[in-house]
């Protein structure tokens, strides 16, 4: 009888430890996902901050390209307005902004003085660097989301996830393959 109670008590203690460890891992992974999204958000904000300077630089050289400049400005404002959205809700606005910036760089190709401008070159370099950082941050975020989602969906951790209402997170993916590429201007 004492042996049976000891075995049952041992199983209960082990089950309790499993739940405790699993719960703490879910909390840690959720924090890591939130932190990695914050890093992506910082880089997206950096891009949003660089674009008005880029538009103003191009404006001086290509004043009659108002449609392109307006599209970039509108796309930037729309993306900035959706800052608090989920990654999936935010994706189309960021893709539109990336496309508008590529269009702006395409217009810049027709202006040799602009392409030679130190200010434009510095802004272009900063924006390219920011795009690279966004891509790296997106990969890090999506890796953390993948790890969390796998734990939420696999046995036996899915039991703990359902007990404490841990759910899956949304990936931040770009659906437009062109938007996934860094804007490049050949000088």
Looking at residue 51, which CATH number applies to its domain?
Answer: 1.20.1440.20
- Domain of 138? 32-180
Confidence (pLDDT) at 113: 77
Domain assignment present for residue 186? The answer is no
Tens-digit pLDDT profile for residues 34-67: 999 999 999 999 999 988 888 888 877 776 677 8
The answer to whether residue 53 sits within a structural domain is yes
Is residue 24 assigned to a domain?
no
Q: What's the Rg (C-alpha) of the chain?
A: 24
Q: Is residue 88 part of a domain?
A: yes
Helix (DSSP H) and strand (DSSP E) numbers for the chain: 6, 0
> Residue 181: what pLDDT?
53
CA 31 to chain centre: 15
Give the pTM: 0.77
Phi, psi of 11 (to 5 degrees): -65, -40
Residue 17, domain member (yes or no): no
Residue 11 within a domain: no
Give the number of C-alpha atoms closer than 13 A to the C-alpha of residue 51, restricted to the C-beta side. 30
Q: Is residue 125 part of a domain?
A: yes
Domains identified in the chain, total number: 1
Residue 176 within a domain:
yes
């Amino acid at each position: 009888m004492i042996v049976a109670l000891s075995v049952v008590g041992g199983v209960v203690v082990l089950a309790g430890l499993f739940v405790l460890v699993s719960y703490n891992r879910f909390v840690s992974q959720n924090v890591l996902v939130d932190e990695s999204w914050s890093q992506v958000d910082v880089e997206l904000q950096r891009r949003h901050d660089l674009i008005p300077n880029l538009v103003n630089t191009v404006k001086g050289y290509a004043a009659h390209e108002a449609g392109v400049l307006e599209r970039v400005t509108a796309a930037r404002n729309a993306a900035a307005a959706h800052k608090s959205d989920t990654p999936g809700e935010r994706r189309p606005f960021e893709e539109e902004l990336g496309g508008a910036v590529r269009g702006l760089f395409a217009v810049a190709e027709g202006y040799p003085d602009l392409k030679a401008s130190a200010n434009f070159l510095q802004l272009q370099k900063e924006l390219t660097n920011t795009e690279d950082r966004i891509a790296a941050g997106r990969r890090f975020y999506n890796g953390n989301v993948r790890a969390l989602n796998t734990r939420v969906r696999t046995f036996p951790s899915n039991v703990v996830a359902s007990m404490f209402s841990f759910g899956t997170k949304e990936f931040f993916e770009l659906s437009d393959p062109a938007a996934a590429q860094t804007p490049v201007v050949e000088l």
